[in-house]
Amino acid sequence: MVAHRVPAWLRTGFYWFLAFEFFVGFVTKFWPGETFFGPAYAEKFADWGFDPNMRYVVGAIELVCAILLVVPRRQTRFLGAATLVLLLTGAVTTHVIDDAPVYEEVSAPLHLVIMLCVAVANWPTDVRQLLWWRPASGGPPARISTRDAAFLE
């Protein structure tokens, strides 16, 4: 059986597209007035029962995760996607409880499924990979043995 790989340029473009979407989410959370998504997020968060200033926390998390998605390392993409899975789980829960129209309730679940797929695609073979940072040469860090280096590939 031959495995078909997605070209690197297509994967990179996909990650940049997702990062752009979450960057737009960051901008709209920090925007003081109405957005092209409707009323100001300060009002939306208050209507959902949250402190209106929580929009800044959510927006900042979206910005950091957007940056993590475009860093060309599996570890950072996994951390960004996993963090967004947690954030989007809260968003989906909020939208299920809220009585918004269906078109407003589609985005968060769709992005949750996409981020779950991104997290699984970038899942580390060894949890220690999340803590190790390879040098620019691409070789394993000097402090691990060659036996452990196999886990990093």
Nearest-angstrom CA–CA distance, 65 and 70: 9
Q: Is the pLDDT of residue 144 over 60?
A: no
The pLDDT tens digits for 110-123 are: 999 999 999 999 88
Predicted confidence at residue 146, as pLDDT, reads 54
Predicted confidence at residue 141, as pLDDT, reads 53
Q: Bridge-partner residues for 35, per DSSP?
A: 38
**Are 134 and 152 in contact, with CB atoms under 8 Å apart?**
yes
The pLDDT tens digits for 47-73 are: 989 999 999 999 999 999 999 999 988
Lowest mean per-residue pLDDT among 19-23, 42-46, 72-76, 142-146: 142-146
What's the Cα-to-Cα distance from 73 to each of 8, 70, 107, 134, rounded to whole Å?
Answer: 12, 8, 26, 10
Predicted confidence at residue 97, as pLDDT, reads 86
pTM score: 0.76
